[in-house]
Each structure stands twice: as structure tokens, then as C-alpha cells.
Amino acid sequence: MHRRNFLKGALFGTAGFLLPGNSLYAGSAPSLKITRIRYYSAPGYNKPLFNQARGIVEIETNEGLTGIGEGGTRDMVEQCAAMLIGENPFRTEHLWQYLYRSMFYPPGREKLHGLGAIEMALWDLKGKALGVPVYELLGGATRDFVECYATGFRQSKATTEEGRAEDCLKAGLRCYRIGPTGGNDPGVPFDFYEHARKTVDLCRRIDKAVGGQGRWAIDLHTRFDTTEAIKICDELQKLEPYFVEDIIRSENPSVYRTVRNMTKVPIAVGEQFGDRWDTNELIEDRLIDYSRVTLPNTGGVSELKKIASLCETHYVGLIPHFTGPLSTAALVHVLGSSSPMRCMMELAGGEPEKPAYFNDDYLLFQNGRLHLNPKPGWGVEFNPKKADFIMEIKENTKFPHPYLKSPDGAIHNW
């Protein structure tokens, strides 16, 4: 009812016009305003391995329209949300620039995570308002499905890594990803020499089990120094991994100039990076073969689409790291509407999560592939009664954040 009233008002307003199929678009929808933003925590999620929040952000408007996003810590979401009350939610790019640029210091990766959650909710809201899936708003489908790879494989009854890899591929997934040996117990010293050798041996066994041809990949988890990392890569060049991920630590991206000159393995980097300025050097200088940037870490859907364009320009593939279930759903829309670069998505455990607070069919997963969801927005229905309510923002910030405008109204840094 709320969406129908909104679209009816848009039709008779100065901004409304008809699209093919008699659906309506409200232009800038000047009467639509954000009235409140709620934040929920994901029940049972205690960040077991990653310092990555998985809260649910819900944006509500004066017309009763809502949209949901995922990510961000309470403090970062609260800061961003308080700047958006009363704003027009359809101005997605404008609001992103406002949140990104209107404070003195550039946003760090934690703020980008919160910004990404809010921007994700804005896209969901717009899709639901217009009655179309988000991928249609992003240019329409460019793929019939998105290939997936598994990190671990929960369905397998095998007792060996080789057996789990074989079961993974039999289920239709494109690739099986492993990690290095050792390093999981902080009470046990990590011997670089020992685990470099053991990791290479594990890769040889996996390659033999799945028959090579890019059916497996490895994440070195930044555990090795350059010397041992390159030794591993030297050996893996003789095999056929789909990619070798996070060969060394990420603090100094330009070090991959050295790595690139020392190995020919396909390099994947990016899960620890944020917006395009975080990762553009790696892509533009072709220091990597695959970017691992993901949602909401990049700061949102629009930003990830821009990074995808960078990847296309420089022939770099896009294989986002997994985050949370809603982000996984959003990634299908982004990759499913992006250019025909090589793309693949990660599924931890080899299958989608099934959170109680989302509808069962929020992801369309079949034979190891994720398919585009044709329902409006992300195609995800959120039940707040099955999540943990944390806070609600319904008043604008008491400390307005100044920003500069050019004569045409575009935002500039303050």
C-alpha cells in the first residue's frame, strides 16, 4: 500500500514519468524523506574469526518504504545515520558523497563498512519503491548466474581435505579453496620453514585430487614473510591454482610490485581493502589478477561497481570475499549486472547461510551457482522480531557537518 501511494504521488508530481511496462519512476522524488534508521545485531554472531560487524541497518521513509543493508559497527552507523534524517533516499550517490566527504579526515575502513551498510539499504529501498530488482537499476543482467567456490565444504562426509575438495566439485561449485597449514593455534609457535613445506605438499595433494585446471585455490592468509611466500609460489607455478590469495600482508600494497616480478601465479588480493582509492594502484598497475574487494567493505554498491569498471579496464577479475548473508545477496546483483570480466563468489562452507531473520529463498542457489533474484530490491524479507534491536536514529545530528558545493551543486571536500 505504501509503495502504491508513493508511486501514485510520483505519477501526478512534476518528477514522475512512465517506464516501459507501465511501471513508474519518481525521478528525484522530492517528497520522499528518510525518517528513521534502525540498527539490529545478528543473533548468535560473535565475530569468531573476523573483526567484521554484521549488523542489519533498516531505513524507513515518510511514505512507509523501507530498505535493509548489512554491516557497520554501532558507532559508525550511528554517526552516518544521524546525518541522513530528512534526506531524500533516492539520491544515493549524493548521500554517499555527503557521508564520505563532509568531515575533515577521510573515512577509515571502519566508517566505510558502516557507510556501505547504509548505502546498501538505500538501493534496496529504491528497488522496492519501483518494484524492480536492484540488478535492473544497475544496468540489467549480464550473466545467467554467478559461479561460486567453497572455503570448506560442510556437506562432505570425507575425513580428508582431498575428499572434501572432490565432494565440493561434484556438487557443482567451480573451485575449492584451502588455507596454509599451521597458524591456527596462537599457543603454538609458527615455524615458517616447516609450514611452507607442508603447505606446498598439501597443494600438490589437492591438485592431484581434483585434476588441476584451476579447480582449487589457496589463501596464504598473509602468514608468511616474503622469502617463504615466494618459495611457496615458485612451487605452485608448476601446478594450476585458480588463484593464490594474500601472499603477504596488506599494509603496503606497492610491495606487490616486488611480488609480481618474482612469481607468475595468479594473485588475488583485496578483502582487507575498502574504496577504489585503497586498491586502484593494484588494479591499474596490473599487480594482481583478481580483486577480492567486497560488500559492505568498499563503502557500498556504487563504489563496488566503480571498482568493477576499473577491473574491466585493466583485465582484472573480481572474486569478492564472503561477508554476511545480505551482502552475499547484494553481491549477486552487483556481479550479475557487471561487465564480462571473470567473476566468482565465495561461499563459506560451500552453501548459503540460512539466518532466521530472512526469508528462506533470499538466495537462489542451485548446483553450486547463485542466480539473480527477480524480486524487488535485494529480494530479501527482513523479520526484525528475529534479530536483536540495538538502536534507532530519528533525529538529525546536533552537529551539522559542513561541506562545500560547486556552482552546479556537486559536493566537494570541506
Q: Give the C-alpha distances (Å, rounded to integers) separating 122 from 28, 55, 61, 341, 377.
A: 13, 16, 11, 26, 10
CB atoms within 10 A of CB 131: 16
End-to-end CA distance of the chain: 41
CA angle 89, 93, 99 (to 5 degrees): 80
Residue burial 185-205, b: 16+ Cβ < 10 Å; e: rest: eeeeeeeeeebbbebbebbee
* Arithmetic mean of pLDDT, 255-260: 94
Q: Which residue has the higher pLDDT, 17 or 380?
A: 380
Q: Which three cell numbers stand for residue 233?
A: 609460489
Q: Give the per-residue pLDDT at 18.
A: 35
Whether residue 8 has pLDDT greater than 80: no
Average pLDDT over residues 114-131: 97
* pLDDT given at position 11: 39
Q: How many CB atoms lie within 10 A of CB 348?
A: 17
Mean pLDDT of the chain: 90
* Distance separating alpha carbons of residues 324 and 340, to the nearest angstrom: 25
Whether 348 has a pLDDT exceeding 50, the answer reads: yes
- pLDDT band for position 3 (50/70/90)? low
Coil, helix or strand for 219? Answer: strand
Contact status, residue 318 vs residue 294, Cβ threshold 8 Å: no
Cell of 272: 582487507
Q: How confident is the model at residue 104 (pLDDT cuts 50, 70, 90)?
A: confident
Reported as a pLDDT band with limits 50, 70 and 90, residue 54 is confident
| Cβ atoms 368, 172 nearer than 8 A | yes
List the single range of 49-63, 139-153, 212-226, 363-377 with lowest mean pLDDT: 49-63
Per the structure block, which three cell numbers stand in for 33?
Answer: 524523506
Instruction: Give me the residues paired with residue 61 across strands.
Output: 34
> Exposed, middle or buried, 46 (CB in 10 Å: 0-12/13-18/19+)?
exposed
The closest of 265, 266, 270 to 253, measured between CA atoms, is: 270
The arithmetic mean of pLDDT across residues 66-90, rounded, is 95
Cell of 394: 530519528
CA distance 83 to 98: 9
- pLDDT reported for residue 21: 35
pLDDT band of 403, cuts 50, 70, 90: confident
**Residues 188-204: tens digit of each pLDDT:** 999 999 999 999 999 99
Partners of residue 377 on adjacent β-strands = 133
Q: To 10 degrees, what angle do helices 301-313 and 325-335 make? A: 40
What is the pLDDT averaged over residues 96-124? 92
For 412, residues 6+ apart whose C-beta sits below 8 A from its C-beta are: 101, 403, 404, 405, 406
pLDDT at 274 over 60: yes
Asked if pLDDT for residue 221 goes beyond 70, the answer is yes
Selection from 144, 146, 124 nearest residue 133 by Cα: 124
Is 304 a residue whose pLDDT tops 60?
A: yes
- Which domains, from first to last, does the chain contain? 2-130+383-412 (3.30.390.10), 137-371 (3.20.20.120)
